[in-house]
Amino acid sequence: MVGTCLGADNIPGGLSAYRTWMQTWLPGGGLIRTFGFVAICWTILKARNKACFDKKMIKHPAEILIHAWALMNYWAGLYASDFQEIIIDGVKILISCARRVLAQQGRPVIVSRLLAPADDQESDETDEDGDQ
């Protein structure tokens, strides 16, 4: 989905291919590419664990992007303000991608609830990873 939003016409098959792919489709991203990669991988792992252990399946792959967005917003607070700005810019691109995919499929379901400003997202049910 991220590749589609970037206009990519291929999908990397491994970590080394991912590095080349990212340099092609997001040149000059450096640390933010790694940051986004980690957030998406962590989110996929969390979704897999919920599916395997809690029998909670995701309803749409865009949920991965939305949860990665929430993690990156949460993690952004751990960095200096100059890197925070870069993270927030990347997060805006990621969430606009999820919105676009969901809108094309007529699924604006979870987007409005999860895309409230960061201040409104705090919850008693948030775990140590920022997941709800």
The domain segmentation of the chain, as residue ranges, is 31-121
34/104 Cα distance (integer angstroms): 28
pTM summary value: 0.67
Confidence check: pLDDT of 88 > 70: yes
Structure tokens at 40: 């998406």
- What integer pLDDT is reported at residue 65 of this predicted model? 81
Higher pLDDT pick, 114 / 106: 106
Confidence check: pLDDT of 57 > 50: yes
- What integer pLDDT is reported at residue 107 of this predicted model? 56
Find all residues with CB under 8 Å of 18, minimum gap 6, and list them: 12, 37
Confidence check: pLDDT of 10 > 50: yes
